[in-house]
């Protein structure tokens, strides 16, 4: 009660109100949406004043379905003349398929009017496809990163939780918007108040923007063996241009024979078989998250011919690449 009365006493000197637009795209992830808007609701509650007005925006006036059972009812639609400070596009599924020229034009118009644009999870892909991320640092959910980099090699793409670059705010999604909103609220209303908001959600360990999007390689691979981890790191750095076993062994600091022995012991497969499987998994990601042709995907994952790629892919996944299109 004391904090609330203190905030109310300070309204005249410190109260800044921000109008936040949120454009969820059909099939958006509810976690990403909630992690974006809930900190703003909590800020209003804890501050005792409406620091943030949140406006849900639809492509039309129909409820916007998430990837689950929940829906968001829009109070404005694309094309409306809205006065906003920020506009966040929240997208899931395969944002590479989104190609609504009317939405792209409206986003461009909002940017020109001085609105700060944001993208969450797959949202940054839509901003990039609208031509609104040129010359800006950005991030995106790791699931979409490979496809986006392949389609737009000119983008300054970082594998981090969130990036704030002048009038663009991009975020990897999931729970990362909680960290991003902490940074924005701290900038608007001070670090002490931002920590109160984060504590409200029991989010006591605030992650920096450069934090990793995925668990450490040791947990992903299932081993702490240094040589194996170094070899896999080299594989992930050379997907489109595969290197021979000797190079992987050199990166791991062991002989080729010892490296194969370690891979068989830890992962139950040879070094090069693990390498092929890693590249095939990358190919699957591109098949399901990009419009690239199968030939382009084969080349992007280091396979010299479409037939060789298709044969290995079918053996690994049980169906040919075309079955997943």
pLDDT above 70: residue 12: no
Band (122; pLDDT cuts 50, 70, 90): very high
Q: Any idea which fold 2-200 has? A: Rossmann fold (3.40.50)
Strand partners, 163: 170
- Over residues 239-270, the pLDDT tens digits come to 888 889 998 998 888 999 999 999 999 999 99
CA distances, 289 to each of 19, 75, 139, 210, 297 (Å): 32, 30, 16, 24, 11
CA-CA distance, 197 to 185, in Å (whole number)? 9
Instruction: Please determine, for residue 3, whether its predicted confidence score (pLDDT) is greater than 60.
Output: no
Q: Report the b/e string of 115-144 with b at 16+ CB within 10 A.
A: bbbbbbbbbbbbbbbbebbeebbbbbbebb
Q: Determine the pLDDT at residue 69.
A: 86
More confident of the two residues 229 and 273: 273
Question: Beta strand 64-65 with 71-72: parallel, antiparallel or unpaired?
Answer: antiparallel
Q: What angle is formed at CA 122 by the lines to CA 120 and CA 125, rounded to 5 degrees?
A: 105
What pLDDT, on the 0 to 100 scale, is given for residue 222? 75
Q: 217-324 has which fold? A: Arc Repressor Mutant, subunit A (1.10.10)
pLDDT category of residue 317 using cuts at 50, 70 and 90: very high
Closest alpha carbon to 298 in 314, 315, 280: 280
Count CA atoms closer than 13 A to 178's CA, side-chain side. Answer: 20
Residue 13 pLDDT grade (very low, low, confident, very high; cuts 50, 70, 90)? very low
**CA 125/CA 121 separation, integer angstroms:** 8
Residue 257 corresponds to which tokens in the numbers above? 């024979």
Tell me the percentage of the chain whose pLDDT exceeds 90. 59
- Residue ranges of the chain assigned to CATH 1.10.10.60: 217-324
CA distances 262 to 234, 252, 276, Å, are: 16, 11, 17
What does the alpha-carbon distance between residue 92 and residue 95 come to, in Å, rounded to a whole number? 6
Exposed / middle / buried, residue 317 (Cβ in 10 Å: 0-12, 13-18, 19+): middle
Residue 110 CB contacts under 8 Å (≥ 6 apart), including other chains: 82, 84, 87, 117
Sequence-distant (6+) residues with CB within 8 A of 120 are: 32, 33, 36, 88, 89, 90, 91, 170, 171, 173, 177
Residues of the chain within CATH 3.40.50.880 domain(s) are: 2-200
Q: Which of 126, 78, 61 is nearest to 98 (CA)?
A: 126
Say if CB 87 and CB 115 are below 8 A apart. yes
Q: How far is CA 82 from CA 24, 87, 106, 110, in A?
A: 16, 10, 11, 9
Residue 165: both structure tokens together: 């670059």
């Amino acid at each position: 009660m004391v904090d609330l009365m203190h905030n109310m006493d300070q309204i005249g000197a410190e109260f800044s109100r921000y109008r936040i637009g949120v454009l969820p795209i059909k099939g958006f992830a509810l976690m990403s949406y909630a992690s974006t808007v809930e900190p703003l609701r909590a800020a209003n509650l804890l501050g005792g004043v409406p620091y943030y007005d949140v406006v849900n925006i639809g492509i039309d006036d129909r409820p916007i379905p998430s990837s689950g059972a929940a829906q968001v009812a829009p109070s404005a639609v694309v094309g409306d003349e809205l006065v906003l400070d920020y506009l966040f596009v929240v997208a899931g599924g395969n944002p590479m398929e989104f190609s609504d020229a009317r939405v792209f034009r409206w986003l461009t118009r909002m940017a020109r009017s001085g609105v700060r644009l944001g993208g969450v999870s797959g949202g940054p892909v839509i901003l990039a496809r609208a031509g609104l991320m040129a010359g800006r640092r950005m991030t995106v959910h790791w699931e979409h990163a490979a496809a986006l980099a392949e389609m737009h090699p000119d983008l300054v793409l970082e594998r981090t939780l969130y990036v704030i670059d002048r009038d663009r705010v991009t975020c990897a999604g999931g729970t990362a918007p909680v960290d991003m909103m902490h940074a924005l609220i701290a900038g608007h209303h001070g670090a002490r108040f931002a920590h109160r908001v984060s504590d409200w959600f029991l989010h006591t360990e605030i992650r920096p923007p450069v934090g990793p999007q995925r668990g450490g390689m040791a947990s992903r691979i299932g081993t702490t063996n240094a040589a194996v981890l170094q070899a896999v790191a080299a594989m992930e750095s050379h997907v489109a241009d595969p290197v021979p076993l000797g190079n992987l062994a050199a990166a791991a600091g062991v002989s080729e024979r010892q490296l194969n022995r370690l891979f068989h012991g830890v992962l139950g497969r040879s070094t090069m078989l693990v390498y092929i499987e890693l590249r095939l998994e990358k190919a699957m990601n591109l098949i399901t998250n990009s419009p690239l042709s199968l030939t382009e995907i084969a080349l992007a994952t280091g396979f010299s011919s479409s037939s060789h790629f298709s044969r290995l892919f079918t053996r690994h996944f049980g169906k040919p690449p075309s079955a997943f299109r």
